[in-house]
Amino acid sequence: SRRITVRDIAAAKERGEKWPMLTAYDAMTASVFDEAGIPVMLVGDSMGNCHLGYESTVPVTMDEITILSAAVVRGTKRALIVGDLPFGSYQEGPVQALRSATRLVKEAGVGAVKLEGGERSAHQIELLVQSGIPVMAHVGLTPQSVNAYGGYPVQGRGEEAAQQLLRDAKAVQDAGAFAVVLETVPAEVAAEVTRSLHIPTVGIGAGPDCDAQVLVWTDMAGLTAGRVPRFVKQYAQLRQTLGDAARAFAEDVVQGAYPTAEHSFH
Ligand code: KIV
Ligand code: NA
What pLDDT does 1 receive?
67
Ligand 1, from 29, 46, 152: best to mutate by most atoms within 8 Å of Cβ?
Answer: 46
Please, are residues 57 and 48 in contact by the beta-carbon 8 Å criterion? yes
Cβ neighbors of 242 (< 8 A, separation 6 or more) are: 223
Q: What does residue 223 show for φ and ψ, rounded to 5 degrees?
A: -95, -25
Cβ neighbors of 37 (< 8 A, separation 6 or more) are: 78
Protein fold of 6-235: TIM Barrel (3.20.20)
The pTM score is 0.97
Integer angstrom CA distances of residue 32 from 64, 89, 158, 263:
22, 30, 41, 27
Rounded to whole angstroms, the Cα distance separating 165 from 191 reads: 12
Note if the bond before 259 is cis, omega within 30 degrees.
yes
Among the listed residues 216, 221, 195, the one whose alpha carbon sits nearest the alpha carbon of residue 205: 216
Transcribe 159-192 into DSSP letters: HHHHHHHHHHHHHHHHHT-SEEEEES--HHHHHH
Q: List, for residues 85-120, the tens digit of each pLDDT value.
A: 999 999 999 999 999 999 999 999 999 999 999 999
Ligand 1, from 33, 47, 51, 57: best to mutate by most atoms within 8 Å of Cβ?
Answer: 57
So where are the chain's domains? 6-235, 238-266
Q: List, for residues 149-203, the tens digit of each pLDDT value.
A: 999 999 999 999 999 999 999 999 999 999 999 999 999 999 999 999 999 999 9
Relative to the CA of 46, which ligand 1 atom is closest? Answer: 1
Q: Which ligand is closest to the CA of 138, given by its number?
A: 1
Rounded to whole angstroms, the Cα distance separating 29 from 223 reads: 13
Residue closest via CA to ligand 1's atom 5 equals 44
116 Cβ closer than 6 Å to some ligand 1 atom: no
Mean per-residue pLDDT of the chain: 97
Annotated binding site for Mg(2+): 45, 84, 116
What pLDDT does 257 receive?
98
Annotated binding site: 45-46, 84, 114, 116
ipTM of this predicted structure: 0.99
